[in-house]
Amino acid sequence: MEHIVRSLQAMVLIVAAACCYALSTGLTLAAFATLTLTSAGSSSDLAQAAGWLTFVAALLVLAAACGAGWGQLLEGNTASAAELGVAAAATLLITIGTLVGATSDGSSSATDVLEAVGIGVWAALVLVRAGRLSLAEQAAGARSRQVSLWVAAAGGLFMFAIGSGFTTDITDKGTGIAAGLLQATGIAALCGAVAVARASGFFPASPARVTISGLAIVAAGYLAAAIVAAVVFGIGDFTLTRVRVGMSVIAAIQFLGIAVLGWAAWERVRGLAPQASPSATITRAVLDARRTGSF
């Protein structure tokens, strides 16, 4: 899985995905911020456009995983290629889920199920990596923090997957609170694992620092979702004004978090090609992808 963040062309695709997802979140913010009884149609159009941009973002991440896997296969690293193949399959499930959400205006529960299963497969991959590393350390007679960090990251992803599998309903306060808390806790665990890994010198300092900030903001966004569910959701509790303000706050926090994570991805791109200008970096990634047949 680390081959994705080590591949220039894959990271350029991740940056593009972050831009699309940030724009999607921005459109969601605009949809809720302008929601009134007379503007319901335009708000719905903005939300539908946001759904399609989310699908494009997922598609770009899928291309990044497939490209990295193909590169490993060409180099003869079959184990890494197989692992990335499973990661691509998991991302494909998430991509299909976003497509279902875009075509159904977010009203289908299949979206949440598919995305939760895809995230769960990613979590299983991380857990398998922890197991493989533990066995390698036992064989070498050495121990490090890496195994516990991988396990913590897997646990965070599993919690996030469970929370993502809940289909929230504005009339159901309990489900909204549970989903928000599980997702916030999962992202917080992932953030903590990255923070400890950075402190232990496993990650480059600059991209890791920005990544930690982005994950912390995203976790705060899901915590805000739980708070909004507690205050706004429930039969007889919600009003249009409460929905507009509450959901706008969630979207604004998530927009900031995704933007920061996109910045972290761009820092990684710069680290992979430190001597190249931004335009040359992108051009080089595209040419490398065409040469290896990644897309």
Model pLDDT, residue 285: 56
Contact between 157 and 190 (Cβ < 8 Å): yes
- Alpha carbon separation from 99 to 29, 61, 93, 111, 157 (Å, rounded): 20, 14, 10, 8, 22
Q: Domain total for the chain?
A: 1
Q: Cα–chain-centroid distance for residue 159? A: 14
Model confidence over 241-256: pLDDT tens digits?
888 888 899 999 999 9
Range of the domain at 25: 2-292
Q: Cα–chain-centroid distance for residue 234? A: 28
Model pLDDT, residue 80: 84
Model pLDDT, residue 27: 94
Q: How many CA atoms lie within 13 A of 96 on its CB side?
A: 13
| Per-position pLDDT tens, the chain of length 295 | 677 888 889 999 999 999 999 999 999 999 988 887 777 778 888 989 999 999 999 999 999 999 999 888 888 888 888 889 999 999 999 999 999 998 887 667 888 899 999 999 999 999 998 888 888 877 776 676 788 888 999 999 999 999 999 887 777 888 889 999 999 999 999 999 999 888 877 776 667 889 999 999 999 999 999 999 888 887 666 677 888 888 899 999 999 999 999 999 998 888 887 644 455 555 555 556 555 554 4
How crowded is residue 293: how many other Cβ atoms within 10 Å of its Cβ? 10
Model confidence over 82-118: pLDDT tens digits?
889 999 999 999 999 999 998 887 667 888 899 999 9
**CA R_g for the chain:** 20
- Stated pTM of the model: 0.86
What is the average pLDDT score of the chain? 85
Model pLDDT, residue 275: 46
Contact between 150 and 133 (Cβ < 8 Å): yes
